[in-house]
Amino acid sequence: MVGIEKENCFVFGVFMFIWSFALISGITMVWLLAWAIKRGEFRDLRQGARMIFDEDEPIGVVTDRFPGAPR
Amino acid sequence: MSRTFILAFGIFLTIASSITGLVIIPNWQFQALKPVVKLDGTRYPEVYFGDQARGREIYIDQGCIYCHTQQVRMKGYGADIRRGWGTRRSVPRDYLMDRPHQLGTQRMGPDLASIGARQPSVDWHAIHLYNPQLTSPGSIMPRFEYFFREVRSGEAAPADAIKVPQQSNGVTHIVPTDRGRALIAYLKRLNQSFPLPEANQ
Amino acid sequence: MIAQPIPPVVIPEVEARIEVDGSSRPVIVLYWGTSLIWLTIASIAGLISSIKLHSPEFLGGMEWLTFGRIRAVHWDTAIYGFGGLAASGTLLWLQARLCQVRLPYRNLLLVGGVVFNIGLVLGTAGVLMGQSTGVETLEFPLWAMPLLVVPYVFIVIANFTMYFKKVTKHTYVSQWYLMAVTVWFPILVLSAEACTNLGAVDGVAQAIANWWYGHNVVGLFATPTGIAAAYYLIPKVIGKPIHSYHLSLLGFWSNAIFYNWAGTHHLTGGPLPAWTITLGVVGSLMMFIPVITIGINHHMTMLGSFHLLKTSPTLRFAVMGSMIYTLSSFQGSLEALRSHQEVTHFTHYTIGHVHFGMYGFFAPLMFAMMYYGMPRLMDQEWSSARLIRIHFWCTVVGMLIYVTAMCYAGIRQGLMMNDPSIPFLNIVRFTIPYLALRTLGGLILLTGTIAFLINFVRIITPHKYTWKTPTMLDTERDWKKLVELEKQSENGGTK
């Protein structure tokens, strides 16, 4: 029976660990988000989405088709 | 530059947290587990030695794990116990000696957690491994005839030969090779019927 | 002296693209080409194991081809041979293009590719000879693993070097995923090997480590590479920026945080502490967040451009992959539920789901990457549109037959197994027609792969099977010539 109580203690410890871990990581996440917004990480995001296009392959031009197919 | 490190560090944290939570903490929890000493002085689970250990290696190299599990689910979750695959659910202590583990995730064949208790006969195992159709017609298990020496009609059967119930190609008896004997010894040892207290919680 | 022609203006991005594609050609062709050979080997091994399940006497009596060995070879060659090489090729090419830098350490990467292939051959031979470690997904004998890990270190180094040297100001979504893969995969492999085959933990904890790895090798290696490919190809081919860049951020981080934890659902009902499985189930369900955000991004970008599916092979495969990513992820999340697992765990349903994800999502995206990349790398067109069509339809039809047969059979099989009044052998007999159907599906998939392989061999043979001008690339201006002219004039200027 002593063994089982020990195990319960252990499980309690595990849960405490998980809860505290969740709390700490949650707070860190929120803080990180606030920090990232403040630093301007989210500004100008659409520019990132456009970086795969250029003057030669601009937005609006289809760049792939079956071989031999007319343009 | 600094941004790359933050990105890489965040990515690293995600994986580090999961291996800590899923592997290191449970392993730490299992550290306290020890084999139990039975009334007759033997221990459960016992280490694998001799034929059993060699048989386990053969079980692994033949890839038995891809069709057979070695885990019985608890009562009320699936029908493992009602199918007679075990008398109780499997618990971590049953696997103390298992390295590598062979829990398995496929049941194209039945569970083998307690096959030693369900089929205690060496002859049954030998015939089943030699040709599964002889004991389980319609089985999709491959034949493991290379674990046996075939004795044809007319040849003298040695003392340890096992009689084949239906003759085919003139084979009347089979004699397990060393590897065959080891595999059967391992299968016969698979037995989770010892009532561990934590299995009834 | 005749007056020098006025040097035309060359767009720096185009120049960079030509440089990048030219520099990365040998490496990427080696990685992609060998990945397709491994896909063929994996498909044949899969087909043999599939036939063995409904006709156990097929190729019987040969120990090295016994089901348990050829089945291990099938998955290992599929995930490391095809998956590892195709994803690494994709990673290197995509990163080089997005950073607009020449591929660094090309000789090292070439040697790495060869060593990786030798490692795969030796590992496969080891498993066939009975040296499997017995840990699922890590069956290759330990002595073969350094040959797989060391080349990957080269890839990691090359990837970080490119990122540090990048010319572009912004970072594209695909790049986050590619960076993540190179951080995750080495850690994954090394810690999983340490926990299982090197024996840092044993018993049930080892089983958790095994499935933590088994799930993550798909989730943190194949999936991010596939998503990275989709994020690049869909917008690039249809010429439309991604629907919402904000959502892609959310999708990336939620994917990174939750996918890690999902592995233990492979052991539901097993002898492990209930909280570990609960964590796995929660992780799997939380995957709805990244899957939905990524899905919205891919499908909303596609909205209004579906007519292009008719004309673009890349887009066909990419859209098939991204659609099945959504579907198979939904299936996977629901599958993790305990009530669902009570029935489908241990059945063919799981196998159906794995193939839905790997052959319905990951493989098509790798194919799409190759269909888009190879003409640009080789400077010539695919030789046959018909072979591309055969490949596509074989992939779709074969995969659908396979997955439907397996999932349906799996559910029925699970329900029957939970009814103890049905003898086990009756259940086995019930599944046999579906197992035969799976062989049919596998055969169709193999046909498609061979069609692709023929086309691939032709495209790496210079101008033998195809016309010289790449039709796909014939823009108004011949950029290559322009770049050369500019270089000439520059050289002339400095002399």
CATH number for the domain harbouring residue B57: 1.10.760.10
Residue C249: predicted pLDDT: 85
Residue B29: predicted pLDDT: 83
Q: Which CATH class is domain C12-462?
A: mainly alpha
Characterise B169 by phi-psi region: left (phi > 0), alpha (psi -120 to 50), beta (else): left
The length of chain A, given as a count of residues: 71
Which of C65, C75, C128, C136 is best to mutate for the B interface (most B CBs within 10 A)? C136
Residue B104: predicted pLDDT: 93
One domain, residues B27 and B66: no
In chain B, the N- to C-terminal Cα span, in Å, equals: 54
The count of domains in chain A is: 1
- At residue A39, φ and ψ (nearest 5 deg) are -75, -5
One domain, residues B138 and B153: yes
Task: Judge: C13–A45 Cβ closer than 8 Å, yes or no.
Answer: no
Residue A69: predicted pLDDT: 67
In contact, B187 and B115? CB cutoff 8 Å: yes
Query: Is residue A67 assigned to a domain?
Result: no
When pLDDT is averaged across residues C37-55 and rounded to a whole number, the result is 96
The count of domains in chain B is: 2
Residue B112: predicted pLDDT: 95
B90 versus A13: the higher-pLDDT residue is B90
| pLDDT band at residue C346 under the 50/70/90 scheme | very high
Domain housing A35? 24-59
Out of B95-109, B115-129, B161-175, C366-380, least confident range: B161-175
One domain, residues B94 and B10: no
| pLDDT band at residue C481 under the 50/70/90 scheme | low
Task: Judge: A56–C236 Cβ closer than 8 Å, yes or no.
Answer: no
| pLDDT band at residue C86 under the 50/70/90 scheme | very high
Q: What is the mean pLDDT of chain B?
A: 90
One domain, residues B107 and B58: yes
| pLDDT band at residue C84 under the 50/70/90 scheme | very high
One domain, residues B2 and B101: no
In contact, C378 and C25? CB cutoff 8 Å: yes
pLDDT at C492 over 50: yes
> Which tokens is A37 given?
């917004």
Task: Judge: A14–B29 Cβ closer than 8 Å, yes or no.
Answer: yes
pLDDT at C495 over 80: no
Domain housing B27? 1-32
In contact, B51 and B182? CB cutoff 8 Å: yes
Q: In this complex, which chains have at least 3 CB pairs below 8 Å with chain A?
A: B, C
In contact, B108 and B67? CB cutoff 8 Å: yes
pLDDT at B100 over 80: yes
pLDDT in tens, C351-372: 999 999 999 999 999 999 999 9
Residue A55: predicted pLDDT: 78
One domain, residues B21 and B102: no
pLDDT in tens, B134-192: 999 999 999 999 999 999 888 888 888 999 887 778 888 999 999 999 999 999 999 99
The residue ranges of chain A whose pLDDT is under 70 are 1-7, 69-71
One domain, residues B48 and B75: yes
B47 interfaces chain C, CB cutoff of 8 Å: no
B17, B29, B201 ranked by CB distance to A10: nearest: B29
Residues of chain C with C-beta less than 8 angstroms from the C-beta of A30: none
ipTM above 0.90, yes or no: yes
| pLDDT band at residue C349 under the 50/70/90 scheme | very high
- At residue C459, φ and ψ (nearest 5 deg) are -75, -25
Which of C272, C348, C426, C431 is best to mutate for the B interface (most B CBs within 10 A)? C272
One domain, residues B27 and B45: no
One domain, residues B94 and B180: yes
When pLDDT is averaged across residues C213-229 and rounded to a whole number, the result is 94
Residue C60: predicted pLDDT: 82
| pLDDT band at residue C484 under the 50/70/90 scheme | low
pLDDT in tens, C67-81: 999 999 999 999 999
One domain, residues B123 and B189: yes
Out of C33-47, C329-343, C373-387, C431-445, least confident range: C373-387
pLDDT in tens, B64-74: 999 999 999 99
Residue C471: predicted pLDDT: 46
For residue C287, give every residue at least 6 positions away whose Cβ sits within 8 Å of its Cβ, in sequence order, or none.
C255, C258, C259, C262, C329, C332, C333
| pLDDT band at residue C479 under the 50/70/90 scheme | low
pLDDT at C173 over 50: yes
What whole-number distance in Å separates Cα of residue C124 and Cα of residue C74?
9
C261, C266, C418 ranked by CB distance to B18: nearest: C261
C478 interfaces chain A, CB cutoff of 8 Å: no
- Max CA separation in chain C (angstroms): 98
What whole-number distance in Å separates Cα of residue C469 and Cα of residue C29?
20
| pLDDT band at residue C383 under the 50/70/90 scheme | confident
> Chain B window 60-99: which residues touch C at a Cβ cutoff of 8 Å?
60-67, 69, 71, 73-74, 77-79, 82-84, 89-92, 94-99
Residue C376: predicted pLDDT: 87
One domain, residues B189 and B162: yes
In contact, B104 and B73? CB cutoff 8 Å: no
User: What distance in Å separates residue C32's CA from the closest CA in chain B?
Assistant: 27
One domain, residues B14 and B110: no
pLDDT at C10 over 70: no
pLDDT in tens, C414-436: 999 999 999 999 999 999 999 99
Residue C489: predicted pLDDT: 66
**Residue ranges per structural domain of chain C:** 12-462
Q: In this complex, which chains have at least 3 CB pairs below 8 Å with chain C?
A: A, B
B98 interfaces chain A, CB cutoff of 8 Å: no
User: What distance in Å separates residue C286's CA from the closest CA in chain B?
Assistant: 14
> Which tokens is C417 given?
């197994």
